[in-house]
Each structure stands twice: as C-alpha cells, then as structure tokens.
Chains A and B, each alone.
Chain A
C-alpha cells in the first residue's frame, strides 16, 4: 500500500502569509494527487487534482506542484476563509495524508 505523509501536521500563520504544505508518497504516484480543504463539520472540498490543476471555482491563490513522490500545496496569500485542515490524497490507490491544520 502507498503511504502518504503530510507535513507539518499543524501550521500557525497570519492573514497575508504565504503557506506551503508538503505531501510525500512512499512510492511514485506520477501526478495522481489531489488536495482537499476541510472545515469543521463539513465534507472535504476538492481544491487541486492531478497535482497542479485547479478545480473549477477554486481561488487562484491556491496552487499545487510536484510529481513522483514529492508534492506541495501553496496558498500565496492566506485569507480568513483559508483557516482549515488540508489533506492530500493519492488516487493510484486512494490513500490520504494525515492532514495539516492551518490555524491562526
């Protein structure tokens, strides 16, 4: 099974900060990686698929990069609505990373 490791698990930041979250796969997954945002009490929301493609309606301050085993999610200028937990997911076999909570 492919293991996904996210870092950091918690990130403290302020509005306007540039934020980067990393996801590593235990073996190559090509670009079969998605990023989700989840807020308390809600289902996850798709942000990025195929490592770098922004899903429809997602603000352009979100971007993704990487391939193989190393991936990053970047928020270029953190907004109040962005404080949430973020998950990566590989869909070569469907496992999720452990999540990164972005807090003030």
Chain B
C-alpha cells in the first residue's frame, strides 16, 4: 500500500527558505504528477504545484517566483523549496498523488500533512 509522508522543519524565520520533502513508500514514484497543497490554519486548501517524473514542474502563479520543486527517483522522494517566506506562508503542507498514473486527476492519496510556522 502506497503511503506518503512529509518531513521538514516546523518553524522557519521570516525571509528565510522553507524546504520540505515527501517520501513515497510502498510504490514507485514514476509516472505521477506529484503535488503539494497547503492549508493555512482555519482556512481552505491552496494548490501549490506539481512535478512529474520527467522533471517538468507546474507552479501556482502566485508562488512561482519563490517556488522550486524537485524529484529524486533514486530516493523515491520529491521536494518543495519556498524562498523569502512570510507569516502568510504559515500552513499545513500536504503532499498528494492523483489517482491516475500519467494524468492530471483528482487526489486519492495524501500525506498526513506537516505544520510549518513562519515566525521569528
């Protein structure tokens, strides 16, 4: 059974860089649009972006200038880097996988989420 697990620091200082990793266990990372989604406390969901295993990313336009995603097939992991963070980036960050291989689709597999707080 495939599982996702986010990892990274729970606290980041303003203006610094946030880095998170999603580890994929129980299955291959190949041929899926691996995705990051976030949720500020008490608010709704925001799509951050996805990366495919050919390395092609697609980012939310509002975050594009600060965002970088990568994928490591040898480690079965994918990562998110967000620069110049502010309090507005405080959120639960989820990694997720669409239910169809090789296609953009709805997400049937989610990690449990990791809370990131931006504060000095």
Instruction: Please list the residues of chain A having a beta carbon within 8 angstroms of any beta carbon in chain B.
Output: 1, 34, 36, 42-46, 49-50, 55, 87, 89, 91, 94-99
A46 close to B44 (CB less than 8 A) = no
| Bound: A98/B106 CA distance, A | 17
Q: Which chain B positions have C-beta within 8 A of A42?
A: 112
B45 close to A46 (CB less than 8 A) = no
A46 close to B61 (CB less than 8 A) = no
A94 close to B44 (CB less than 8 A) = no
Q: Which chain B positions have C-beta within 8 A of A34?
A: 106-107
A43 close to B112 (CB less than 8 A) = yes
B108 close to A44 (CB less than 8 A) = no
A1 close to B61 (CB less than 8 A) = yes
B111 close to A43 (CB less than 8 A) = yes
Q: What are some 16 contacts across the A-B interface (CB < 8 A)? A: A1-B61, A34-B106, A36-B107, A43-B110, A44-B110, A46-B99, A46-B107, A49-B105, A87-B44, A89-B106, A91-B105, A91-B106, A94-B35, A94-B47, A94-B104, A97-B44
